[in-house]
Amino acid sequence: MDFEKLGKFGTLFKIIGMLLVARKIAGGIIGIYKAFLRRRKDLVQRYGKNTWALVTGASDGIGQEFCRQLAKIGFNIILVARTQKKLEETAEELKKINPNISTKVVPADLSKSNEQGWAENIYEQVKDLDVSILINNAGVDVFERFELIDPEYLKKMININCTALYLLNHKFVPQMAKRVKKSAVINVSSGVVKVPLAYYSTYNGTKALVDYFTLSLGDEFKNIDFMSMQPYDVSTAMMNNRPPDVMTITRQECVKGFLDCLGYERQSVGHWKHRIQDWLYSLLPRWLINLVFFNFLMEDFFKERIPLVQNWRLKGATAVNAVAQDTKKTE
């Protein structure tokens, strides 16, 4: 394009173009600094010795790994999830990792968080403990045509991903804000918020809510390090334990990446592999990401998740049918 012919507008377009390119390059350089050069804050010093971290979804996946890494550096751990046995086994493991810490198991079903007194029940069990870190991690997803998802499952998902998280923030944040030392709240959102995909609308919506909620709340409570945590793919049961690869990281890498960012970033994708992914996505238009996903990746993604989908579904067609229907439509 001949910018000279556009006169002053041509110069303006050139400047805007250069600024946009410079911004993306600067973003990449800052990302390298954050991922490889910046030193982690001393979390025990920052949030207090012998204090407690409350973690939801503590019995598996990313939540369990948060418990391990925080126990290792000296935090006492309150473990919340549904299955008492899994929680107790994890608590025992934590005591082996660090015999000097204490643990408390609090079984709770987050899908019932809409019931009267749900958050109070958890709070009552731990109110005498000095909770300095709150990690709202438990979450569930569904990859499915929207109209095929059972409405009861939709309600449960919103309760687990949103209602429980709001209520635990509401219960714990005011007292955490009054602590002499700083406190931290990690609300687990997801990288998918940046790349909204068809068939993932409900999950995306819940995670976008978590993200906006956390960003805003952080400005209300300056004494708390809020983080909206936005990982891309992590090898856990949620991803059918897909082996780590160029895009999928281990749960250890994931948690380390986010603890490294705590106290620095209000919104983060954490590990360097996910930073690269995030940067690349930021260069591409959403239609192109969707096009690549639906033409090259979706079939494998569905296949990988069919065992999970079959567990979720209470009636109606499976995700495979959804793909088949769509294929027919485009034929």
Q: What are phi and psi of 156, to 5 degrees?
A: -60, -45
* 289 part of the interface to ligand NAP, by CB under 6 A: no
- Show the site string, 234-263: x = touches ligand NAP by CB under 6 A, - = not: x-xxxx------------------------
**Burial class for 47, CB neighbours closer than 10 Å (0-12, 13-18, 19+):** buried
Based on CB atoms, which residue is closest to ligand NAP, 181 or 256?
256
What single string gives the DSSP state of each residue in 57-93? STTSHHHHHHHHHHHHHT-EEEEEES-HHHHHHHHHH
Residues contacting ligand NAP: total by CB under 6 A = 30
Based on CB atoms, which residue is closest to ligand NAP, 48 or 79?
79
* 63 part of the interface to ligand NAP, by CB under 6 A: yes
* 188 part of the interface to ligand NAP, by CB under 6 A: yes
Helix ranges (H only) for 160-250 are 164-177, 201-220
Across the strands, what pairs with 217? none
* Alpha carbon distance 229, 219 (integer Å): 16
- Using CB under 6 A, which of 45, 50, 83, 310 touches ligand NAP? 83
Tell me the window of 59-67, 95-103, 173-181, 303-311 that interacts with ligand NAP (CB under 6 A).
Answer: 59-67
* Alpha carbon distance 100, 75 (integer Å): 9
* 190 part of the interface to ligand NAP, by CB under 6 A: yes
- Using CB under 6 A, which of 27, 69, 86, 104 touches ligand NAP? 86
* 148 part of the interface to ligand NAP, by CB under 6 A: no
- Within residues 121-140, the interface with ligand NAP by CB under 6 A covers 137-140
Encoded tokens for 305:
């998740």
* 270 part of the interface to ligand NAP, by CB under 6 A: no
* 48 part of the interface to ligand NAP, by CB under 6 A: no
- Using CB under 6 A, which of 71, 160, 195, 262 touches ligand NAP? 160
Nearest-approach distance from CB 305 to ligand NAP, in angstroms: 11
Across the strands, what pairs with 227? 186
**Burial class for 241, CB neighbours closer than 10 Å (0-12, 13-18, 19+):** exposed
Tell me the window of 55-63, 123-131, 147-155, 173-181 that interacts with ligand NAP (CB under 6 A).
Answer: 55-63
Q: What are phi and psi of 228, to 5 degrees?
A: -90, 110
Encoded tokens for 277:
């992914």
Sheet holding 103-107, edge to edge: 103-107, 76-81, 52-56, 131-136, 183-188, 224-229, 267-268
- Show the site string, 5-34: x = touches ligand NAP by CB under 6 A, - = not: ------------------------------
* 67 part of the interface to ligand NAP, by CB under 6 A: no
* Alpha carbon distance 128, 210 (integer Å): 27
Nearest-approach distance from CB 204 to ligand NAP, in angstroms: 11
Binding positions for ligand NAP, rule: CB under 6 A: 57-63, 81-83, 86, 109-111, 137-141, 160, 188, 190-191, 231, 233-234, 236-239
